[in-house]
Amino acid sequence: MVMYDNDQIVQKSFDVTFLSEYLIQAQWAEFIELKKIITEVADRKQAPVSILDIGIGNARIPSHLCGIKEIWDRIASYDGTDNAQACVDLAIRAIENLQIQNKVSVYFFDATNLGNWSKGYDLVIATWFTAGNFYPENFPFDSYQELGTKLDLGKNEKFETIFKNAYSLLNTGGEIVIGSCYIDKDSTRKKQEESYIKMGQTIITNKNDSFTATKEGFWSQRFTKDKLRHYLRFVDPAKISFTPLDTYDYAMQVRIRK
């Protein structure tokens, strides 16, 4: 099963009616931090920045950014990728409605193939828990609950491949910004489960797992700082920084500088 292959589920995942307040607050917290980073990188470059958005979803980020002239003028180009056609369709409609096609482009593309991407960027972003959606190949969504085994996430080859290749796309002085990462705590797990249940999905994981997954094919990993440093071991740890996005250890932002 491919995540987000069901249009109805995709719609629910973006509809505030079905989102928990924790998810909504995380959206805005990461957006506020992202605006600061865009400004900082543009000032450092002394020119507008180029952005690659891995998992553009419904184009929420450029849809909000384009309404803020002071930020939008600091962006030269904005490319977005998504491996779900339903999300690509939503993003294209949003961009056309806002008439920002001159700056924003959307591609149906699997981020595991970023090693074949030819452009360079000042910022590569993955917002709103996207980085936690990169689950191992052949994960048995249909049978995981019945198997009763615990998945070892000491390695996550998909996560590591995507961000290693993304790092190679950065221009000098560029950054990867992982907008929101779930913090690996039991209280966060419970909030994840509540969010998926609100969307009408069926949880197939338990407290022994460091991720939450559903029968419908959704997956969200939780992280510790040490685990992220391990996954990002191709980067000098001094170039990785963490920003809390709340006061209750639910989500954090990760910046990876080149």
% of the chain with per-residue pLDDT over 70: 94
Report the alpha-carbon distance of residue 54 to residue 42 in Å, rounded: 20
Q: Is residue 238 part of a domain?
A: yes
User: What confidence tens digit (pLDDT) does each residue in 124-135 have?
Assistant: 999 999 999 999
Q: Is 189 domain-assigned?
A: no
Q: Indicate if the pLDDT at residue 4 is higher than 60.
A: no
Look at residue 225 and give its three-state secondary structure: helix
Confidence of residue 11 (pLDDT cuts 50, 70, 90): low
Q: What is the rounded distance in angstroms from the CA atom of residue 126 to the CA atom of residue 50? A: 14
Asked if residues 83 and 51 have their Cβ atoms less than 8 Å apart, the reply is no
- Assigned domain for 206 exists: no
Query: Is pLDDT at 1 greater than 50 in this prediction?
Result: no
Share of the chain above pLDDT 90, in %: 86
pLDDT confidence band for 250 (50 / 70 / 90): very high
| 114 inside domain | yes
What is the domain count for the chain?
1
User: What is the per-residue pLDDT for 199?
Assistant: 87
Measure the N-to-C terminal CA separation of the chain; round to a whole number of Å.
Answer: 35
| Reported confidence tier of residue 211, pLDDT bands at 50, 70, 90 | very high
Contact 49, 38 (CB under 8 A): yes
pLDDT score, position 7: 60
Q: Which domain holds residue 19?
A: 7-140+153-182+222-257
Residue 2 confidence (pLDDT) above 50: no
CATH of the domain at 92: 3.40.50.150
In a domain, 210, yes or no: no
61: in domain = yes
The per-residue pLDDT of the chain, averaged, comes to 93
Given the structure tokens 């932002």, which residue do they identify? 253
pLDDT of residue 215: 93
pLDDT digits (tens, 9 = 90+) for 152-192: 899 999 999 999 999 999 999 999 999 999 999 999 999 99
d(CA 213, CA 10): 15
13 closest CA partner among 130, 149, 185, 147: 130
Predicted local confidence at residue 75, as pLDDT: 98
- Is residue 188 assigned to a domain? no
215 belongs to a structural domain = no
How far apart CA 177 and CA 254 sit, in angstroms, is 6
The whole-model pTM stands at: 0.93
Structure tokens at 241: 């920084």
Alpha-helical runs (H) found in the chain: 7-14, 21-45, 60-65, 69-72, 85-98, 144-147, 157-168, 186-198, 225-231
- Residue 15 above 90 pLDDT? no
Residue 170 bridge partners (DSSP)? 121
Q: How far apart are CA 223 and CA 174, in angstroms?
A: 24
Buried b (16+ CB within 10 A) or exposed e, 97-118: eeebeebbebeebebbebeebe
